[in-house]
């Protein structure tokens, strides 16, 4: 869910180059059209809102109809609640809190639920990879003080680990990918801020110090959705250019 731009689209293109067939979803019609052009006949693109209760089920049913079965789910859909009032908790609005959780956690619950039901019906197991964030456990208070977002991404980890424990008996694997700052449509505030980019050069010092690019995550996605990680579940893989082990200089 959430594969028509940014990290989701990059992963979908990478997976199709390796022979996979994918279904990607997005809310923006123009983004859906552009993704459809890039994915060609190895991808099915659906205009769906991941926060709506039936969207994930519709996407999975379309996958089963088009490709025969579902083998893996990569949930990328989410977003910033900053414009709704997310921020430091003393200034946080109830709308900011609720909208941020709807975008980043409720949508994820719905897609995971639909995928698990599909895997159970197929009886062959499957893999789920959920999008987290380093902000769920490694805060950076000066430039990234959105406390509802941090709480939601932390909850993604707890939710995913709980599912991984429960559904391991069905050979369903659930893991989390936690990126640092990556240049996506959601990250444009930070990507265009010179002060933040100066900070990121020391906070994410790998490869000369830079903001991440969507393709930096593609290898991890392929690994965690493939049989190469068949004995891995309940784990958080951080892809952050060194964020979690670097102080960052102001």
Q: What is the rounded distance in angstroms from the CA atom of residue 171 to the CA atom of residue 141? A: 39
Q: What is the rounded distance in angstroms from the CA atom of residue 249 to the CA atom of residue 246? A: 9
Residues written for the chain: 250
Q: What is the rounded distance in angstroms from the CA atom of residue 213 to the CA atom of residue 77? A: 17
First to last CA, the chain: 36
Nearest to 69 by CA among 145, 154, 126: 126
Q: Which of 74, 84, 149, 167 is catalytic?
A: 149
Residue with tokens 């062959």: 124
The question of whether 137 is a catalytic residue gets the answer no
- Reduced to 3 states (helix: H, G, I; strand: E, B; else coil), residue 133 is coil
Q: Are 61 and 68 in contact (CB under 8 A)?
A: no
Enzyme catalytic residues: 149
């Amino acid at each position: 869910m959430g594969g028509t731009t940014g990290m989701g689209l990059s992963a979908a293109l990478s997976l199709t180059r390796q022979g996979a067939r994918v279904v990607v979803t997005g809310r923006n019609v123009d983004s859906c059209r552009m993704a459809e052009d890039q994915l060609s006949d190895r991808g099915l693109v659906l205009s769906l809102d991941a926060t709506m209760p039936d969207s994930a089920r519709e996407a999975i049913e379309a996958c089963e109809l088009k490709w025969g079965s579902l083998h893996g789910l990569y949930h990328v859909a989410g977003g910033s609640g900053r414009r709704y009032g997310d921020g430091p908790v003393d200034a946080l609005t109830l709308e900011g809190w609720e909208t941020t959780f709807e975008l980043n956690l409720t949508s994820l619950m719905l897609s995971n639920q639909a995928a698990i039901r599909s895997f159970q019906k197929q009886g062959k197991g499957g893999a789920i990879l959920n999008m987290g964030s380093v902000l769920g456990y490694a805060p950076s208070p000066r430039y990234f003080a959105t406390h509802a977002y941090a709480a939601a991404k932390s909850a993604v980890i707890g939710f995913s680990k709980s599912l991984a424990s429960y559904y391991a008996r069905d050979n369903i694997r659930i893991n989390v990918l936690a990126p640092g700052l990556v240049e996506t449509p959601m990250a444009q505030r930070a990507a265009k801020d010179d002060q933040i980019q100066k900070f990121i050069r020391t906070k994410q010092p790998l490869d000369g110090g830079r903001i991440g690019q969507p393709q930096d995550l593609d290898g991890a996605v392929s690994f965690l959705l493939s049989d190469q990680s068949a004995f891995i579940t309940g784990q958080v893989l951080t892809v952050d250019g060194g964020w979690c082990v670097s102080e960052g200089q102001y």
